[in-house]
Amino acid sequence: MRKLKKCSTLPLLSHIRSYTDAELLAALQQHDEQAYAFLYDRYSKALYGIILQVIPSGEGAEDVLQDVFIKIWQNIKLYDAGKGRLYTWMLNIARNAAIDRTRSKDFNNRAKTAELTENVYTAGGVTESRADDVGLKRVLGSLPEEQRKLLELSYFQGYTQEEIAKMLSIPLGTVKTRIRTTIIQLRKLIGANKT
């Protein structure tokens, strides 16, 4: 993972002071830049990891991370401690921002271009990771279309089970059961292909 960049407008003062959760929240709501830098130092790697699960491109994930911290800065007064922890609130912002980015027209155009580039063979042949991708695609290809679609929507496109249920007009319980069954079947298929 590349080292994350600090927002250029923030001072690197977070090492000077530590905060309790209540102090941090109060300072953030006053738009204290030192508290914001502390927040970035403390949570940026964790939020980056969440974003990276939805957006596999490191550069794209870093862009979303910067957008997430801007949203946190702008909307910190909307945070309600009675509804959950600050980290959970930020995690939801990060996940939603990453999913929104994958649904954007610009992201989809870049993804299509990247797919074309990735499918071009190097002069020395297919790299090992590409060979693994082919094996995974073969295993996924052996699943029935309905199961493949559920996995793609849930794990590769980042939709929640509730969103999938609405999108496919299927009860939520049915979506959960089918995804669980598909994962169990996928594990068996992967195990059979390893032997």
- pLDDT band (50, 70, 90) for residue 93: very high
pLDDT in tens, 147-171: 888 877 777 677 788 888 888 888 9
Token code pair at residue 149: 């679609």
* Of the candidates 180, 177, 111, 182, the residue with the CA atom closest to the CA atom of residue 145: 182
- pTM exceeds cut of 0.85: no
pLDDT at 1 over 60: no
> Which pLDDT score is estimated for 195?
55
Share of the chain above pLDDT 70, in %: 72
Give how far the C-alpha of residue 140 lies from the chain's centroid of Cα atoms, to the nearest Å: 21
Contact between 165 and 175 (Cβ < 8 Å): yes
pLDDT at 56 over 60: yes
- pLDDT band (50, 70, 90) for residue 68: very high
Separation between Cα atoms, residue 35 and residue 33, nearest integer Å: 5
Residue count of the chain: 195
> Which pLDDT score is estimated for 131?
39
Domains of the chain: 21-105 (1.10.1740.10), 132-194 (1.10.10.10)
> Which pLDDT score is estimated for 70?
93
* Of the candidates 150, 149, 147, the residue with the CA atom closest to the CA atom of residue 161: 150
The one-letter code for the residue type at 100 is: D
* Of the candidates 111, 108, 107, 189, the residue with the CA atom closest to the CA atom of residue 147: 189
